[in-house]
Amino acid sequence: MKRNTREHIIATAASLFQARGINSTGVDTIAAEADISKMTLYKYFRTKEDLVLEIVSLRSREFYAWLSNRLNHVSPDPAEQLQKLIDCIDEWLNRPECGGLPFMNASAEFPQTGNPVNLLSAELAKEFRAYLTRLASEAGAKSPESLGQQLSMLIEGAILSEQLNKHSGAIGYAREAAVLLIKANLR
């Protein structure tokens, strides 16, 4: 069976980026690990930046699909889904293949505001807040925009804390705060 070269490059690069960081992984390493030539890599991705953008977008879509499926599995009721949100985020973070939220990791490596990776990361962060705001709205929150923003800040902060200090308990603290915020916002 013929492998899909493009998907193979993406999988290889994503694994290397997670293990070593995006800026610490060169195209020579990606090509060598994927067992392809640099010319083949550039046939599929004009630049390393194009590859990074593809991976950040793909990993974000995978996260949203996983979270939506997981929340729907927890309950069809949006209010109950909102209550279980942090548990699901905790479950995501404990998956061996998880490296956090892709937009957070990418923005940390590309902090320049005009950089295409940073611009994509900022857009994906807005999408995350919009996702949480929609969930809060569907759950009947009094102020869904405010609750979405607050939950986003809690989750992103807890994830960063866990990345910097594994098993810090940050997710547990975020869960406690989320329960209070959700309780105060639900009608």
As averages over each run of 10 residues, the pLDDT of the chain (187 residues) reads 82 93 95 96 96 95 92 94 92 79 90 94 95 96 97 93 86 94 91
Confidence (pLDDT) at 150: 97
Query: Number of folded domains in the chain?
Result: 2
Give the residue numbers spanning the domain of 153.
52-185
Confidence (pLDDT) at 82: 93
Confidence (pLDDT) at 97: 72
14 and 65 within one domain: no
* Alpha carbon distance 52, 13 (integer Å): 8
162 and 115 within one domain: yes
Confidence (pLDDT) at 99: 73
129 and 95 within one domain: yes
179 and 101 within one domain: yes
Dihedral (CA of 124, 69, 161, 183) sign: positive
SS3 of 30, please?
helix
Cβ 116 vs Cβ 57: under 8 Å: no
Cβ 55 vs Cβ 14: under 8 Å: yes
Confidence (pLDDT) at 1: 39
Confidence (pLDDT) at 173: 94
- In this structure, what CATH number is given to the domain that contains residue 117? 1.10.357.10
